[in-house]
Amino acid sequence: MFDLSGKLALVTGSVAGLGKAMAIALARQGATVILNGRSDEHLADTQREFTELGLTAHTACFDTGDLDAAAKRLKTINQDIGAIDILINNVGYRDRKSVQEFAIGDMEKMLTRNLSAPFELSRLLAPSMMSKGWGRIINISSVVASIASDGDATYVTAKGGLESLTRALAVEYGKAGVTVNAISPGFFLTDPNLHLAKDESLNKWLAGRTILGRWAKPEELAGAAVFLASNASSYITGQTIQVDGGMSARL
């Protein structure tokens, strides 16, 4: 049920963190993975790691926030590697500050990277999925899409929009055999969060706020990604799976 042999998967932002963990998990289930990032050097390093693990991966260097460049790169991927079966829109952008600290136009940058880019990538790749009668689109949201945090209004707004987009695309593409779902991570120990993990007051709060009482490891998101990418989830679409240690389930 979880076999992904013969499938081609693009995971955006997959040189590190959650994206890398999900890419490794898909490859271990037999998928050929296309790694994405903005640095050829970092992509080459990650590709070597895949080779050392005995996994197959290609690289695609482009900035998902540059919509024109992304569209051009997807066209070359289709020509040089093949039609993508699985898309994981993982790249996100965050700028924590209060609403009043934002200047006019700052929201546009937030929405471009967190909402417009997943929309465009999905729109561009969906036709080939629909023509085959099979496809998977997985959007990476955040627990703050449903429980807002202070000083984070633009990110909260963008991720809330991404979950709405997930439902809309599911309705649009479902009859053609393409499912669209989202994963909503909670507090994960990725590189940008390592400094936060040293904050004892935050750790104490997290221990009480989540049911499982701890930070998550990046690989703990991988199971949900494999599930939604595989035939095991063939009758699930338009849904958001919370992978947050129970944070969204308690007061």
Catalytic residue among 93, 155, 173, 235: 155
Among 159, 149, 154, 139, CA closest to 205: 149
State how far the Cα of 192 lies from the Cα of 110, in Å rounded to an integer: 17
Enter the DSSP assignment of 174: G
Candidates 88, 110, 93; CA nearest to 23 is 88
Is 235 considered catalytic here? no
Closest to 152 (Cα-Cα) out of 98, 91, 209, 92: 98
Where are the strands (E) in the chain, listed by range? 8-11, 32-37, 57-61, 86-89, 135-140, 178-185, 240-243
At residue 18's C-alpha, the angle toward residues 197 and 88, to 5°, is: 150
CA–CA gap between residue 227 and residue 240 (Å, rounded): 13
Q: What are phi and psi of 6, to 5 degrees?
A: 85, -5
> Which residues are catalytically annotated?
155
